Structure 1
Amino acid sequence: MSRLKRRTALALSMTAGLALVAAGCGGGDDESAGLPADQETVAGDGTGSPPAGGDGVRLGILGQCEGPFGGFHEDVVGGATLAMTQFAGATPGSSTTALDGFTGAEVAGTPIELVGIGCGDDTADRILQEVRRLVEQLGANVIIGPLSGDEGIAIAEYAKANPELTVLAGISGSQEQTLQVQAPNYFRFYGDGAIWNAGLGDLLHNQEGWDTVAVIADDYSFGHTSAAGFIADFCAVGGEVTSRVFPPLGTTDYSSYIAQLPNPDEVDGYFWAVGGTGTQASLEAFVNAKGDLTGDQHAGNLFFNPGLAQALGPDIAGAYVGGFATLPGDVQTPEIENYLAAADETWETIPGALSGNEPAPPSVAAAFGFFYGYYTAGVALVEALDAVGGDMSDLDAFHEAISGLTLDLPYGDISLDENRSGVVDVGLSRLVLDESGEVVQETVAIVPGVDQTFGGTFSPDTPSPGRDFPACEERDLPWEGNAIPVVDGVPQS
């Protein structure tokens, strides 16, 4: 339990920051990378391959400044930068934005030079264009990122085809990038979308009495993976999924998809894995078509948060929420307090997504999983470099060092499985009304040590999560009935 107690919960207030944001970057020139002028061009060797590993780290960060998750561009660059500042002696390029990068990072005598920041838009084509620019034009030999599901699959395939490259995934939550692609130079120090919903179906069926549920999820790899975890969990304990609806990512009018869902008197509950700009829009469409929300009839993945109450009203209270890279709720620990304080010491303000992309204390961004996923990748890079004495000339040894890491992080330890994907604890929470009538997020349980096989549900030989997979089947899961309750912010073990 020492690991579980190194956790906190932070009320997530995702508001206007989930809106489409395309500021601060472009797709095809060095200036768009958001770097100061003296960092804009670092030439590779002209061969179309990353330079040899023995010449130091030339780091590229793959963000997403356009598309449904474009509002998190500042956050993800900030996460990697904070790790370099804390543990590699870097100096941020600005006190008011992370997009100006950093200078002066060094580990065991080996410099870490930021050569560029890529601008994705949630599509595989765009992120491949950006990684090629960073690697083949600017000479990056290490990549941190990307952010989103289909992007992660594309970058894992690119890494597999370019074995001289090292990729530390940012926060992309699709399952396939590690379980199916299995690139030996691609590492993910966080969970995937299925992992983050472990235990939620068990809680809703056995504690809240849900027997039937309708699922609505974005029709792309992360939405599929997130829904797959919930479906596998809910059905394993005897629940029934009556319908599955998959609107395309980036949908603006959800009315036709809401019409496909059963009415509230025909099902015990609804599970939502609609993210980005779609979370609020889809719920508003539900209210227009089905009537007012009853919070305890709804559950969602990481995009359910107290900020929804600002648009939908307090009726969202009662909804259950799956986990993410950080634990929501009310647990406070010295480790997390120090981490958040380090962010506030690194910058004066950051215009992150949770503050509506307006200047705010950097700890606001650092508390959410998009920032934190890139932070863990940066910490892994530093620790692996230290483990090999700063010598990357033997990439096999360097990659073996990364694979063997167990990171002691603010929100708990993370190790990697045999496919170099994170084994993590999952925090489940609920939206509740506090004493002042505000909607806040409260931790209700912790599911420890979940890996991407999901108790044997998924493997390299099973289909990728999709519209029809997994089937709704009862099975034994190791955490059924074994989640650790959290009461008033304290794990009960």
Structure 2
Amino acid sequence: MTGLRRRATFALSLATGLALLTAGCGGDGDDTAGLPAEENVDEPADAGDDGDDGDEEAPDASTGDDSTVRLGILGQCEGPFGGFHEDVVGGTALAMVNHAGATVNSTTSALDGFSGAEVAGTPIELVGIGCGDDTPDRILQEVRRLVEQLDANVIIGPLSGDEGLAIAEYAKANPELTVLAGISGSQEQTLHVQAPNYFRFYGDGAIWNAGLGDILHNQEGWDTVAVIADDYSFGHTSAGGFIADFCAVGGDVTHRVFPPLGTTDYSSYIAQLPDPDEVDGYFWAVGGTGTQASLEAFVNAKGDLTGDQHAGNLFFNPDLAQALGTDIAGAYIGGFATLPGDVQTPAIEEYLASADDTWETLPGSLSGNEPAPPSVAAAFGFFYGYYTAGVALVEGLAAVDGDISDKDALHAAIGGLTLELPYGDISLDENRSGIVDVGLSQLAVNDDGEIVQETVAIVPGVDQTFGGTFSPDTPSPSRDFPECEERDLPWEGNAIPVVDGVPQQ
């Protein structure tokens, strides 16, 4: 087989998860059965949002009964990541089932919520699910609805980068609130905002690319690379981590191109990239609905995609790659919250089985929002990020014997946790952001001729400072920062190889 040819049309099936994110809320208006009617996620609050950045104190923030955790989940049912709405609610629900004795209200949709969750005698009540669309204004409307109208005192979420910045600022202005981020990957929400009641039990976009530049430069021989990434906080962070890694080991970034998130016609941005004979490789951090469109524009303008010249962040997944043809085999991919399916341990197997025991089917993003085994959704990072947040909430409550009246004590307990999780232990740094092991992978062709994702290395214990590259005093990752410069990184040459799914240590 050959790679995708010029002007070819992408034949993506429903199984092509990350390219099918315009699916809206993934429901028919009955998504919130089991929740009060006013919490319908398809109808975000139209309270006049003034477009601020969340740094003003909410006058009606929750001050109610401290004997119950009133939980609100911030999902994203519209916009470029709208297809993940079912996944993220499912992650939180499964944490409540596995660790707080909850029962889901539907065996075919996570959006119907759960009931019966309790930790140390303290009930956890789901009061509402927020419907974001990847914009700060909308997510602020939704968190205000959950907190100020529905009296939520704990929030899990949000999903996306700019949303995370807005919610971190909102949390900082409302210290009685407890927020556990869902899977939002921008760096600034913890490194710069530093809200003492905002916790992130996963890596950020930069962390997830630790070690990728080292492999491409020192193992694959790339000296020059062009970077194309979404022009918002997560795209900047993801590209920033790769640039810092690649340049630290001696590589050079020749071009940085940043199309706006949600772009539909990428031809003018692809035109800004060098031709394949002018650069050793390309790094892609274009996500959501843009992954398919940007790669199609590249093929139409510059020719076939081949694995020896392309690498990407988490959105460069094997389902999408399968549509590109087998010549894409060999491409490297940065990490995410979970590991590819070739790595299986008893803890991972038990976790995935628990999802299949909880629901009959789930219409997750990787099944095109069609019914599929729940373990398919549970194995992906969007679901798992919200799962880790739910586990952190449960363990934090257990550490204070269910007493949520002293928020400082609760927050101190959560901040001091080390979670023993299926895909590896996670603790927090001084800014309450995850210190994580990063799994790097490569696309390969299996015996059936299909493209699969195989883990090639694990980079242990990466934190937000990225080996001293970033700090609260450095600028946020942007179009221009970090600069391309050599520096020592602790993991250079020290990644743990993985062979046939087994770490060689």
TM-score bracket for this pair, using the shorter chain length? over 0.9
SS of 2:385's equivalent in the other structure is helix
Shift of 1:22: 1.1
Contact 1:33–1:40 (8 Å) recurs in 2: no
Distance 2:444 2:502 in 1: 17
**d(CA) in 1 for partners of 2:392 and 2:30?**
27
- Show the 5 A alignment for 1:73-472: 73-472=85-484
Give, in whole Å, the separation in 1 of the partners of 2:297 and 2:82: 23
Q: Which residue of 2 aligns with 1:23?
A: 25
Distance of aligned partners of 1:96 and 1:162 in 2 relative to their CA distance in 1, 3 Å threshold: same
Scaled by the length of structure 1, what TM-score is found?
0.94
C-alpha contact (below 8 Å) 1:191/1:424 kept by paired residues: yes
Given the superposition, is the C-alpha separation of residues 338 and 188 from structure 1 closer, same or farther in structure 2, using an over 3 Å criterion?
A: same
Change (3 A) 1:154 1:32: farther
The separation in 1 between residues aligned to 2:39 and 2:174, in whole angstroms, is: 22
Q: CA 1:152 to 1:32, structure 2 compared with 1: closer, same or farther past 3 Å?
A: farther
SS in 2 for 1:279: helix
User: Kindly tell me: are residues 16 and 305 of structure 1, through their superposed partners in 2, closer, same or farther at Cα, counting changes over 3 Å?
Assistant: closer
Matched residues in 2 for 1:67 and 1:392: separation? 35
| Deviations 1:300-341 (CA, angstroms, capped at 9, x unpaired) | 000011111343222221110000000125121110000000
Give the counterpart of 1:36 among 34, 37, 43.
34
Q: Paired residue for 2:10?
A: none
CA distance in 1, matches of 2:258, 2:241: 15
Q: Unpaired segments of 5 or more residues in structure 2?
A: 1-14, 41-57
CA contact (8 A) 1:210 1:268 kept: yes
TM-score by length of 2: 0.92
Instruction: Give 1:35 deviation, angstroms.
Output: 4.3
SS of equivalent to 1:55: coil
For residues 336 and 143 of structure 1, the distance between their equivalents in structure 2, rounded to whole angstroms, comes to: 26
Name the counterpart of 2:47: none
Deviations 1:141-179 (A, max 9, x none): 000000000000000000000011000000000000000
Matched-pair contact (CA < 8 Å) for 2:19–2:290:
no
CA distance in 2, matches of 1:310, 1:449: 32
Distance across 2 between alignment mates of 1:92 and 1:145: 19
* Distance in 2, Cα, partners of 1:147 & 1:41: 19
For residues 249-289 of structure 1, what are the alpha-carbon distances to aligned partners after superposition, in whole Å with 9 as ceiling and x for unaligned?
A: 00011000000000000000000000011111111110100
Stretch moving more, 130-139 or 46-55? 46-55
- Asked if 1:57 is matched to 2:69, the reply is yes
From the superposition, tell whether residues 165 and 35 of structure 1 become closer, same or farther in structure 2 (CA, over 3 Å).
farther
Structure 2 letter corresponding to 1:22 = G
The separation in 2 between residues aligned to 1:105 and 1:212, in whole angstroms, is 53
1:218–1:273 CA contact under 8 A, matched in 2: yes
Query: Aligned partner of 1:240: which letter?
Result: D
| Shift in Å, 1:21 | 1.7
CA drift at 1:16: 6.5
The one-letter code of the counterpart of 1:452 is: Q
CA-to-partner distance for each residue in 1:60-106, whole Å, 9 max, x for gaps?
00000001100000000000000001111111110100000011111
Q: Which residue of 2 aligns with 1:7?
A: none
Shift in Å, 1:15: 3.1
Quote the Cα distance in structure 2 between the aligned partners of 1:430 and 1:37.
42
After superposition, the CA RMSD in angstroms is 1.8
Letter in 1 for 2:124: I
Whether the 8 Å contact between 1:63 and 1:119 is mirrored in structure 2 is yes
CA contact (8 A) 2:26 2:83 kept: no
CA distance in structure 1 between the aligned counterparts of 2:228 and 2:39, rounded to whole angstroms: 44
1:20 and 1:277 in contact (8 A); partners too: yes
Please state whether the residue corresponding to 2:98 is helix, strand or coil: helix
| Displacement of 1:34 | 2.1
Q: Distance in 1 between matches of 2:432 and 2:175?
A: 15
Measure how far apart 1:36 and its partner are.
1.8
Work out the CA distance in 2 between the residues paired with 1:352 and 1:301: 20
SS at match of 2:347: helix
Structure 2 letter corresponding to 1:256: S
- Alpha-carbon distance between aligned partners in 1 of 2:66 and 2:321, rounded to the nearest angstrom: 52
Structure 2 residue matching 1:466: 3-state secondary structure = coil
SS of structure 1 residue aligned to 2:409: helix
Q: CA separation of 1:37/1:210 partners in 2, compared to 1, >3 Å: closer, same or farther? A: closer
CA gap of 1:32–1:134, structure 2 versus 1, over 3 A, is: farther
Work out whether residues 64 and 151 of structure 2, in 8 Å CA contact, stay in contact via their aligned partners in 1: no
CA contact (8 A) 2:210 2:438 kept: yes
Q: Report if the CA contact (8 A) 1:329-1:429 is conserved.
A: no
Pair 1:272–1:392, CA change in 2 (3 A): same
Q: Contact (CA 8 Å) 1:17, 1:353: kept in 2 or not? A: no
State the shift of 1:14 in Å. 4.1
Quote how far apart the aligned CAs of 1:49 are.
1.0
Amino acid at match of 2:336: F
Q: Quick check: 1:483 aligned with 2:495? A: yes
Aligned length: 475
Report % sequence identity. 83
Report what 1:4 is aligned to: none
Measure, in 2, the Cα distance between the counterparts of 1:169 and 1:128: 14
